[in-house]
Amino acid sequence: MRKIKKILVANRGEIALRVMRSAKEMGISTVAIYSEADRNALHVRYADEAVCVGGPKSNESYLRGDVIIDVCKRLQVDAIHPGYGFLSENANFARKVQEAGLIFIGPSPEAIELMGSKLAAKAAVSKYKIPMVPGTEEAISDVEEAKEIASNVGFPILIKASAGGGGKGMRVVESVDVFEEQMKLAVSEATSAFGDGSVFIEKYIGSPRHIEIQVLGDTHGNIVHLFERECSIQRRHQKVIEEAPSAVLTPELRDEMGRCAVDVAKACDYVGAGTVEFLVDENLNFYFLEMNTRLQVEHPVTEQITGLDLVKEQILIAEGNPLSFRQEDLTINGHALELRVYAEDPANNFLPDIGRLETYVRPQGLGVRVDDGFEQGMDIPIYYDPMIAKLVTFGKDRQEAIEKMLRAIDEYKITGIETTLPFGTFVLQHEAFVSGNFDTKFIERYFSPSVLEPKSTEDADEIAAVLAAMLLGNNKPKVSTPSTGTQNGTVSNWRKNRVK
């Protein structure tokens, strides 16, 4: 066992703050890294120390693994927490962290590599007789051979990038006539996005639910699951609303899927927090999809229903501690929902809407949690994912969690940019969601820009007043500016400790 005294968080925004808060409660010092675009970011101010690692683009800063490791050596850091995204599933980075004598708060490089390839992952878990979607068991490049396999599997089929994610390198093919064209497009996109053009074929399950299981494994061979998360409300194959538990899983199916998730983790000797993803069809048959070897964006809903702090568990595991609980000790308590509040315009195909947070007021009250990394007056940078916050509600049951979420959305005041808040209201009031009778085709079936309500009268009056003032030549509209980090001329600790 090795006690961690100082952690560098190799990430930004809300997840960096999330990790630092748990570390602080454990008496662990924190180091933030930041790009030039994030110089005044909240995670920079919160950390005990902070270091600029480069320019605004990710490849100039947050993806510079060697620079990050050098910072750790210079500041005598014990461990690196990668958060999610950026370097979190980069096996080469995890290996270099270990070679530098540092602790990587996550799984082994070998586990990351194995589960990072969908084909290798399928092969690894096959001995556990986990249900798989029919298709090829290895990469395929010969178009004619692929056509024959696709015909045997039965159209429609899905061409998928082996190293893919987020819908990249993925093509639905309805017939043999367009197969060759779609396969070439999938290979090209996979090569461009991941540097690996390997693709494989699966039977296309047209309207599945996307349900994932959270797992935890320690260095002593103990692995447990922390139940499921329903993640079927998606746009462009990326999640927008998640909940725990799912509205459709029976206790028996939950146990069966949980056992399969644990077996997947065993297949790669998994250590730390990970997520096993499944597709579930209309008859509640489930199929292994992939494993994400990191903390998930939607982990707060699991924390709400289990009472566990997953970041603290990650740190304890990384120190070499055994899990302090067994599977039979875990129970589901209540229901939790998460809405990802993106700087996106749902009325314009969810395109990013970058700008300044002219108004930013968080909702409050019992059962409401906001994980964010912004404050009023800050700009949403164009260089990174447009997520502003994760709005989470918790209730004694699903209905109460939905009611709290609707109230929280109504209280969440954001102006200056468009967000996914009104989309959240639409979903949570829709009969298909309320009844639990929905799948990953929800947006395609039910949503169109016209369903969103127009701006409120209050917003319209405010806009009219600003325009009138401008036309009359009065003072220009006031625009808030980011906090400077100083009070009464005294430099705050975060500026003193920020390493230039």
**Contact indicator for 440, 432 with CB cutoff of 8 Å:** no
In eight-state DSSP terms, residue 219 is: T
Measured between alpha carbons, how far is residue 292 from residues 113, 166, 213, 265 in Å? 11, 12, 10, 10
Q: Which two tokens stand for residue 498?
A: 């920020």
Chain centre to alpha carbon of residue 316: 22
- For residue 308, give the nearest of 339, 329, 338, 337 by alpha carbon: 329
- Residues pairing with 44 in the sheet: none
The Cα 44–Cα 500 span in angstroms is 12
Active site residue ranges: 294
The Cα 437–Cα 211 span in angstroms is 14
The Cα 269–Cα 267 span in angstroms is 6
The Cα 35–Cα 40 span in angstroms is 10
- For residue 427, give the nearest of 322, 360, 339 by alpha carbon: 339
DSSP H helices, 310-388, are: 310-318
Answer whether the bond into residue 245 is a cis peptide, omega within 30°: yes
- The set of long-range contacts for 58-67, using a CB threshold of 8 Å and a minimum separation of 24, is 58/86, 58/383, 58/384, 60/35, 61/33, 61/34, 61/35, 61/36, 62/10, 62/11, 62/12, 62/33, 62/35, 62/86, 62/87, 63/87, 65/90, 65/92, 65/93, 65/96, 66/96
- Residues pairing with 453 in the sheet: none
The Cα 182–Cα 155 span in angstroms is 13
Q: Which two tokens stand for residue 82?
A: 């990668």
Measured between alpha carbons, how far is residue 267 from residues 128, 276, 413, 443 in Å? 8, 12, 46, 35
**Contact indicator for 201, 150 with CB cutoff of 8 Å:** yes
